[in-house]
Structure 1
Amino acid sequence: MRAITYSRYGGPDVLELTDQPMPKVGPDSVLVRVRATSVNPVDWKVQAGYLDPVLDIRFPAIPGWDVAGVVEQVGFDTPELSVGDEVYGYVRKDLLQGGTFAEYVAAPVRTLAAKPASLTFEEAAAVPLTGLTAYQTIERSGLREGQTVLVHAAAGGVGSFAVQIAAARGARVIGTASESNHEFVRSLGAEPVTYGEGLAGRVRAIAPDGVDVVLDYVGGDALASTPDVLADGGTAVSIADPAVRELGGIYAWVRPSSEDLTALGTLIDDGKVAVHVAEVFDLADAARAQELSATGHVRGKVVVRV
């Protein structure tokens, strides 16, 4: 099969289109014919070696954790899925080697769910990692209907999903974003505020009593403003900065979940969550896709069609 691989740590220049053996399908896995995948910042951070202290990797490695495709073969113990099922998923494994930037991937069933019927494969591939991150941080925050939530980086990949999911739950949403993204954030269902110096005052001007939940997807100064914007008894969750624990909050890392992917798919098919694709590249152009994602100035996800 054709796959994008890298045999040493580095930037986009280490990526190559190569021929690789077909993956073996374990008892609790299925073989997915990949139709699309997408680029996440963690992909190029892993590839650069930043996560080497915590994640095992075997070269040559195939990058990518997001997938949308069709089940072509099932394992011995996979009653949840059948050949021909259209699926999407966050295929993170304990060993980093067989990723989703390939024509086929062996995916544990715990990482997959039925693809939302309203989405194309390219759109579905843009959802899993960022959508799950947003969904699971909201779950861990305990956000309830009628509460107010502040979403940092509301126009970003995770933040844009979080705004929509929180709004669908009946929460009031305030989102930090640059001026150029205010209309986009407003269209998602949030009241935009400009990040940077004076942020706490701008948030308090909108929510004088403070916010019930802070969802931090950027870290740094944004997280540092938490004590000045969070109401008494409120909750802060961050995926970007473990310093949130010093503020009494929760440091979170996304995990694969069929159940959560199914819930996300329902929100999408019900029209409560929209998916934004910035650009679609062919598999051979994966390095260019990664370069675009790494600029940090992309609205929506960068997708790779396989």
Structure 2
Amino acid sequence: MTGTETMRAVIARGYGGPEVLEVIEVPVPRPGPGQVLIRVRAATVNPVDLVTRSGALAAAGLMAPRAVTGIGWDVAGTIAATGPGVSAFSVGDTVIGLRDLLDRDLGCYADYVVLDATAIAASDLPPVDAATLPLNGLTAHQALDLAALAPGDTVLITGAAGAVGGFAVEFAVRRRLRVVASASTSDESLLRDRGATWFVDRDITDPATEVRRLIPGGVDGAVDTAGLGVRALAAVRTRGSFVTVVGGSAPIPLRGIRVHEQWISADGPALTALIREHPTLRVAGTLPLERAREAHERMSAGGLRGRLVLVP
């Protein structure tokens, strides 16, 4: 590339509803040392994009307030250029990756994005499907790591039919954990097919009582993707483990339970391992980049199974 090319990118100008999203034209960024430039083939729309756009993350102190904010964490595409010191990847390689920096002018909703080479993995999956893996798959993987459970242990996974929860169920089963899945009753068959041993209706008033009826004494650990907090903690045995992926929902560590809040971090090698596990990838639909506002409106409305993906 000559360094004079321009590209389209979606940014949030200020904070608010989908109307603050704009498609702008900017110079194509250049990769620095240890970085790669990716031509974006697919970028997933995630709930974190909506709360970034709304200003909720800035209000919570998770990022500094900005006049312009880049949107988008997940990417699948092709390497267009490499920076100095990159030897593991070459121009033309198909990859997926995760942008885990919030306060930047440009995100993955763009024609091109620059990422650290340590944040990407080679991928032979269809780009639209592949783009749904990095953020949600790594969140589930890292949450299970924090739970530190052993083969044969029991784990409660709340929000088990969601994007993160679905991956958590699959990855837990592959770690030889016995899974109690909590979700809507309409998803019970799906989750049992994915390997869940027990199922609990998410809408019951006291899920912990039902879990303890199934597993007297409580589960060894819980991965709370639904933000139930103390309601899920009560299902965990004394001195068990509890991990929440919803910021600010961690309960007090009662009864000696190890309580963790899981904060995502980019991890190329882990992504490589997850691809080899052939996880179930769910796409709710695709939209062109310029219809990012519509994608946010549809996600806000709820009812999606899987993720919407922007295709530049």
TM over 0.5: yes
Aligned counterparts of 1:176 and 1:93: Cα–Cα separation in 2: 31
User: Are 2:248 and 1:238 aligned?
Assistant: no
RMSD: 1.6
Offset, 1:245: 5.3
Cα distance change, pair 96–144 in 1 and its aligned pair in 2 (3 A): same
SS for the counterpart of 2:250 is helix
Paired residue type of 2:86? T
Paired residue type of 2:70? I
Offset, 1:216: 0.6
User: Are 2:69 and 1:61 aligned?
Assistant: yes
Partner of 2:298: 292
Structure 2 alignment gaps of length 5 or more: 1-6
Partner of 1:193: 200
Offset, 1:69: 0.3
Residues 57, 97 of structure 1: 8 Å contact kept:
no
SS for the counterpart of 1:35 is strand
* Number of equivalent positions: 298
- The CA deviation string for residues 146-187 of structure 1, in whole angstroms up to 9 with x for no partner, is 111100100111000000000111111111111222222222
Residues 55, 96 of structure 1: 8 Å contact kept:
no
Paired residue type of 1:258? G
User: Identity of aligned pairs, percent?
Assistant: 36
Offset, 1:62: 2.7
Residues 37, 125 of structure 1: 8 Å contact kept:
yes
Aligned counterparts of 1:75 and 1:201: Cα–Cα separation in 2: 55
Offset, 1:100: 0.5
Paired residue type of 2:15? Y
Aligned counterparts of 2:32 and 2:102: Cα–Cα separation in 1: 14
- The CA deviation string for residues 103-130 of structure 1, in whole angstroms up to 9 with x for no partner, is 0001111211112x2x210000001101
Counting only pairs closer than 5 Å after superposition, residues 163-202 of structure 1 correspond to structure 2 as 163-190=169-196, 191-195=198-202, 196-202=204-210
Residues 37, 100 of structure 1: 8 Å contact kept:
yes
List 4+ stretches of structure 1 deviating above 4 A: none
Indicate which of 122, 131, 142 corresponds to 1:125. Answer: 131
Partner of 2:264: 254
Aligned counterparts of 1:288 and 1:94: Cα–Cα separation in 2: 22
- The CA deviation string for residues 202-227 of structure 1, in whole angstroms up to 9 with x for no partner, is 212222231111001122xx221234
Paired residue type of 1:113? A
Offset, 1:301: 1.4
Partner of 2:3: none
Residues 11, 106 of structure 2: 8 Å contact kept:
no
Cα distance change, pair 20–59 in 1 and its aligned pair in 2 (3 A): farther
Residues 222, 236 of structure 2: 8 Å contact kept:
yes
Offset, 1:91: 1.3
Aligned counterparts of 1:94 and 1:278: Cα–Cα separation in 2: 25
